[in-house]
Amino acid sequence: MSQKPVLYFLICVSLAFSSCQKEDILASEDYKTLGSSAHSLLSASAYSSLDIQISYMPGYAPDSGSIRNLAAFLNTYIYKPSGIRISVKPISSSGKTVLTLSDIVKIEKQVRSMFSGSAALAVHILIADADYNVADVLATSYWSTSVCVFGKTAFAASRGAGQMAVDDLITTLLEHEFGHLMGLVNQGSPMQVNHRDLANGAHCDNKTCLMYNTIENTGTGMYAVIPTFDDNCKSDLKANGGK
């Protein structure tokens, strides 16, 4: 029987979002095109462990349940025998009501302190205290190891009638965006069968799948529980080095 990776949780305290918008931004090291690190994230061939830094703005700290859910989700789909470590770091307010992609990039470069090394792949998650400049967007993944959740928008959405509780919504957004980092759909992890929603970019055409496009918007109200990957998405991940 294979031994499951040990999960490490590091909660660091210091001073210091409905749809996702897919952006292709070319840069070096961790700042590669979205989906280009999918195999490295899914498999242990290049990196045996994963370090996740969550930088959150005042009032939008992720709850412990969302962090545990994310770790369990990742352990289900990726091979990291040396463990998954999650660090939570408070940062200063953006001081804005609306953020552009350029704003998000600038903030990440100011606060990100974890980067991929010889054995560990690093992912940065920003939870912002502002809306996105694209209406109703709750979260976005942009570089190969970068995610932003628009906390102000997501928290407000969770208060609507029939919407998910905020911890379930944050969990859903984080897991969906990690799906994009893992190369779904057909953006780094090749499809084993055609299931890409052509009208909505790198999303699955199955309405019950975690990678359906409305997962990231007010459409989450149609889900009573946190969605999971369907069989087609699971097959894509496994074929690209995942579990």
- Within a domain: 139: yes
Pull the structure tokens for residue 168.
């379930």
Residue found by looking up tokens 């994230």 in the block: 41
Q: Could you tell me what percent of the chain has a pLDDT over 70?
A: 83
In a domain, 1, yes or no: no
What CATH number corresponds to the domain at position 23? 3.40.390.10
Answer whether residue 84 is part of any domain. Answer: yes
Chain CA centroid to CA 6, Å: 21
Within a domain: 241: no
How many domains would you assign to the chain? 1
Q: What is the pLDDT of residue 140?
A: 94
* In-domain check, residue 243: no
Rounded Cα gap, residues 23 and 217, in angstroms: 17
Distances (CA, A) of 38 to 198, 213, 223: 21, 19, 27
Q: What is the mean pLDDT of the chain?
A: 86
Residue 119 corresponds to which amino acid?
A
CA atoms within 13 A on the CB side of 241: 19
Q: Which domain holds residue 109?
A: 7-236
pTM of the complete model beyond 0.95? no
Q: Using one digit for the tens of pLDDT, what is the confidence trace for 105-146?
A: 999 999 999 999 888 999 999 999 999 998 888 999 999 999
Query: Is residue 9 scored above 90 in pLDDT?
Result: no
Tell me whether residue 242 is in a domain.
Answer: no
60-111 pLDDT per residue, tens:
999 999 999 999 999 999 999 999 999 999 999 999 999 999 999 999 999 9
